[in-house]
Amino acid sequence: MLETFIQQWLIMSDYDYTVDDRFVQKARAYGVDFSEQYVAIVVEGNRNHLPNQRLAFDLDHLRRVYIFPLTGVHEFLATLPEHALAGVSRPHFDLTKSIKEAVFALALTSPVIEEMKIVFYEDVVDLAQVVEAGVAYPQVEQFLKDRVDEEVQVTLWLYGTLGHSMSELSDTLHVHRRTVQYRLDKIAQLTDLNPRVPAEILPLLVSYMRLKTAVIVPALTAQLQRLTTDLQARDVATS
């Protein structure tokens, strides 16, 4: 019943349906207040080990969506199992928008870097909006994909987004400071773009984000759409 309620909530969000009094009463029974904004958290991991929450549903066999009001997000994240990954949206009245942001953030996580196991959309929103506006650097993307390995790409991303010093970044990556410098130099050699130059790191970061989100975001967004479409079809068939 609860999962059906969330799916109906998504349909109303997708199609901008009017919320009638009966549905408002049902929402209150589940602790949902439509006058509040909600945060979505999409968690990837072994579903048998993921926390149980009242407002949650399975997006697919690897990922579960949790819905929270403005409070309780950080407390929940602290309960996630060690190997779980999570993308966290900004708060919205539009539930579908929240989930899509969380999916986008999840695509940028990494299981091998502690600071990248949980990604908040708020922290990457400026670059995300550039990507979502269609800005692309195809040649840079191809260079990163073909010539730059994952370790070096992650170093680039953390260098460009965390604002750490070389020493802090080396601690984060558990490598020597000279290794960080070597990796940044390698990117400059392979792409002809110097990540230490602000004007030149932007194409690199945008290209990295596009590579990370190119497959998983459309796939999970389509799965979310299927959930609401399937439910809508069942409602029509039984009405």
* Distance between CA atoms of residues 128 and 143, nearest Å: 20
* Distance between CA atoms of residues 214 and 104, nearest Å: 10
Dihedral, 80, 107, 64, 83 alpha carbons, nearest 10? -30
pLDDT band at 235 (very low <50, low <70, confident <90, very high): very low
3-state secondary structure of 176: coil
Copy the structure tokens of residue 12.
């109303």
The residue type at 159: Y
> What is the reported pLDDT for 17?
65
Q: Residues with Cβ < 8 Å from 208, sequence gap 6 or more?
A: 144, 153, 156, 157
Q: What is the mean pLDDT of residues 129-149?
A: 94
* Distance between CA atoms of residues 189 and 238, nearest Å: 62
Q: What is the mean pLDDT of residues 163-185?
A: 90
> What is the reported pLDDT for 121?
97
Q: What order do you get walking across the sheet with 118-120 strand by strand? A: 56-58, 63-68, 39-44, 85-88, 118-120
> What is the reported pLDDT for 106?
98
> What is the reported pLDDT for 206?
97
Q: Tell me how far the alpha carbon of residue 210 is from its chain's centroid.
A: 13
- Written as one string, the DSSP assignment of 177-233 is HHHHHHHHHHHHHHHS--TTSHHHHHHHHHHHHHHHHTTHHHHHHHHHHHHHHHHHH
Residue 19 has φ and ψ, to the nearest 5°, of -90, 115
pLDDT reading at 232 higher than 80 = no
The residue type at 118: I
What are the pLDDT digits (tens) for 20-69? 788 888 888 888 998 899 999 999 999 889 998 889 989 999 999 999 99
* Distance between CA atoms of residues 118 and 229, nearest Å: 29
Query: If you count them, how many residues does the chain have?
Result: 239
pTM, full prediction = 0.89
What are the pLDDT digits (tens) for 176-227? 999 999 999 999 998 999 999 989 999 999 999 999 999 999 999 999 888 7
Q: How many CB atoms lie within 10 A of CB 28?
A: 11
Which structural domains are found in the chain, ordered by start?
2-130+215-233 (no CATH), 135-213 (1.10.10.2840)
